[in-house]
Amino acid sequence: MLQHLLTKEFFHTYFHYFVGAGIIILGFIVASIVVSILAGLLSHKAATPEDKAKNRALISKISFPVNLVFLVLAIYVVHKLGDFPKEFDPYLERIVKAVLDIAFFMSLYYFAGAVVITRLFAGLGINVNATIKDLLADIVKAIVAVLGVVTVLGNFNINIGPVLGGLTVLTSAVALAAKDSIQGLFGSLTVALEGKFKEGDWIKLGDLQGFVENIGIRTTSVRGFDRTLTVVPNDAFITGSVTNFTRINNWEINVQVPISYKATPRQLESIVMRYRDWLGNNPDIESDPQKAIMAVRINDLTDRGFNLFLFFYTKTNQWLEYMRVREQCMMQLVKIIEEEGTAIAYPTQSVFLDNASVPSGKKPSPSGTTVMAEAPKKATIAKAPAAKPKK
């Protein structure tokens, strides 16, 4: 028996079978290497344990279509090298092409849901809610599945016209039934693509102001400062004006302080110069003229006093830190005004009356206040004695 296996006739007869088996084994080895390379690439991109777990699940899914591709290619090579009937060639080629199409669309199906959508938005620097990502991934998967079915059926010369017509009708019916959801989806995509805000941002839309808690498919939830939750349709963010306080660069301080008219020009000049120098040396205030404006001026004479105009920016963009810096600036201003021997003006009103408008028994004083005047004494008129009649 062993001598028969070692004869040249045996090798000549069964050589292509050995080659075919070797090619099939080589196909499995190459498939394993490809899967390992993909696993390494995805593990390198993973940053969190959750991402690593998702990548492991993805590798386990795509390992089947990858192995299927190399197995079919190996069988096809063996068929070409071996002495097989030629009438099987057309059928084998169709089968091979169909299997390759199935493996390709299966891999694309899994990658579209797990990687493509996430990597696409991450590459564009767009933060999208997980619900929207899942919905988009499902839509892409459905499109890939339909294309895969149509492509595979086309390999066997099956008429796909009725299938496409039915899919068109079905898609139109679904789109009509889910019109509001689709409109909300486009609204949420518009918000995400334009980058107006993301979850956790402090925004203002009309009279609504608060923090974004969730960006959904149709609506966005905003938590107000009074802790109430307001649900806003996503299309409102397309037509409305949105202010995003989280993305502010520097907080503005714009204050007008009245100083008493009793202050002298020297005092006013000293207050302005001292406060301007203090702001310039404050590390919390943006004093670089290339980045921000700083103005400390006496710009008006009001009914209360000299108007001290203050306009400058803090370096921080955090609201609580801004409030601390603002308090520090106000306290320093009060301190400088007191050290200069003057004061902040408060509302007063003086009334001056002329003699024509003073009621009886009162007279106006030079200072503008009204004081009581003594009532004039009545004059005593002596009556003349009556003349005696002449006799």
Q: Is residue 264 part of a domain?
A: yes
Q: Is residue 353 part of a domain?
A: no
**For residues 235-256, average pLDDT:** 86
Q: Which two tokens stand for residue 147?
A: 């294309």
Distance CA 279, CA 286 (A): 9
- CATH number of the domain that residue 231 is part of: 2.30.30.60
Specify the 3-state DSSP secondary structure of 339.
Answer: helix
Range 162-179 burial, b when 16+ CB lie within 10 A, else e: eeeeeeeeeeeeeeeeee
In a domain, 367, yes or no: no
pLDDT of residue 371: 43
**Beta bridge partners of residue 204, listed in sequence order:** 209, 243
pLDDT (tens digit per residue) in 41-99: 666 555 566 666 766 777 777 777 777 777 777 777 766 666 666 666 777 777 778 88
Q: Are residues 161 and 74 in the same domain?
A: yes
In a domain, 388, yes or no: no
Three-point CA angle 236, 238, 240, nearest 5°: 60
Q: Which of 171, 188, 205 is the last residue of a domain?
A: 188
Residues 152 and 270 in one domain: no
Domain endpoint, select from 188, 219, 235: 188
**Residues 36 and 178 grouped into a single domain:** yes
Query: Is there a single domain that holds both residue 41 and residue 174?
Result: yes
Q: In whole angstroms, what is the distance from residue 138 CA to residue 115 CA?
A: 12
Nearest alpha carbon to residue 314 among 260, 249, 387, 267:
249
Is residue 2 situated within a structural domain? Answer: no
Alpha-carbon span 88 to 76, nearest angstrom: 11
Number of domains in the chain: 3
Which one-letter amino acid corresponds to residue 66? V
CATH at 335:
3.30.70.100
Q: CA nearest 309: which of 271, 348, 267?
A: 271
pLDDT tens digit string along 194-235? Answer: 677 888 889 898 888 899 988 777 788 899 988 899 988 887
Mean pLDDT of the chain, nearest integer: 75
Residues 125 and 231 in one domain: no
What is the pTM for the complete model shown? 0.52
Sheet order of strands, 202-205 included: 229-233, 219-224, 208-215, 202-205, 242-244
Confidence bin at 303 (pLDDT 50/70/90): confident
Same domain as 290, residue 202: no
For residue 11, count other CB atoms closer than 10 A to its CB. 11
Same domain, 127 and 108: yes
The model's pLDDT over 276-299, given as tens digits with 9 standing for 90+, comes to: 999 999 999 998 888 889 999 999
Instruction: Provide the 3-class DSSP secondary structure of residue 4.
Output: helix
Report residue 11 as tokens: 């090798």
**Where in the sequence is the domain holding 179, given as residue range(s)?**
17-188
Q: Does residue 257 share a domain with residue 236?
A: no
Q: Which candidate, 129, 134, 20, 22, places its Cα nearest to that of 84?
A: 20
Same domain, 180 and 39: yes
Identify residue 141 by its one-letter amino acid code: K
Cα separation, 164 vs 147, in Å, equals 10
What gap in Å lies between CA 262 and CA 342, rounded to an integer? 7
Is 34 part of a structural domain of the chain? yes
Do the domain assignments include residue 357?
no
Same domain, 69 and 140: yes
Domain end (from 299, 316, 339): 339
Place 22 in a pLDDT band, splitting at 50, 70 and 90: confident
- Shared domain check, 211 and 138: no
228 in a structural domain: yes
List the one residue out of 135, 199, 146, 152 whose CA is nearest residue 171.
Answer: 146
Q: Please indicate, yes or no, whether residues 113 and 148 belong to a single structural domain of this protein.
A: yes
Q: Phi and psi for 231 in degrees, rounded to 5?
A: -105, 120
